[in-house]
Amino acid sequence: MVPLLGQIHRGLAWIGSRLQSLVLLAIRLYWGWQFIQTGKGKLTHLERTANFFGGLHIFGGPPLPVPKLNAVLASGTECVGGLLLLLGLWSRFASPALIFVMAVAYATADWDALQVIWSNPDKFLSADPFLFMAAALLVFVFGPGWFALDTLIFKPAPQSA
């Protein structure tokens, strides 16, 4: 029985490893585009975004300083970082910036969801930044996959025996 389970496990691991780059490509394409669209929407309506940012409070405390500058920085990071994610270009540089922007979004716009992460995880998981942050985190941890410009620029190190 155990040898059979071992063979099934190895077969599933083989299939999973072959799908990894395709899944990472799908995540990068979809969420890169979503980041671009979200950032573009904020930049298109910069005054409204700055007013919204001006009403946000950091960790439930003081208001967010220089709201217009913060709006431009967050929106620009989403647009540029999203494009880099989509292309798989400098992915491991872009993803931490996107993760940081989403962490700030949790600490400001979704502070209530962040406060109840343990007592009401559904609220935390359904907050807007969650899936954006999860996608950026996956790309940071696993890399962009083989179907990325990073693969051409940053050649993988040869495997030692």
Which pLDDT value is given to residue 102?
97
Task: Write the Ramachandran bin of 98: left for phi over 0, alpha for psi from -120 to 50, otherwise beta.
Answer: alpha
| pLDDT averaged per 10 residues in sequence order, the chain, 161 residues | 89 94 97 98 96 84 86 97 97 97 93 93 96 98 95 76 55
Q: What is the pTM of this model?
A: 0.88
Smallest Cα–Cα separation from 111: which of 71, 59, 54?
Answer: 59
Q: Give 128: exposed, middle or buried? Use CB within 10 Å, 0-12, 13-18, 19+.
A: middle
User: What pLDDT sits at residue 128?
Assistant: 94
pLDDT at 156 (0 to 100): 67
pLDDT of residue 112: 93
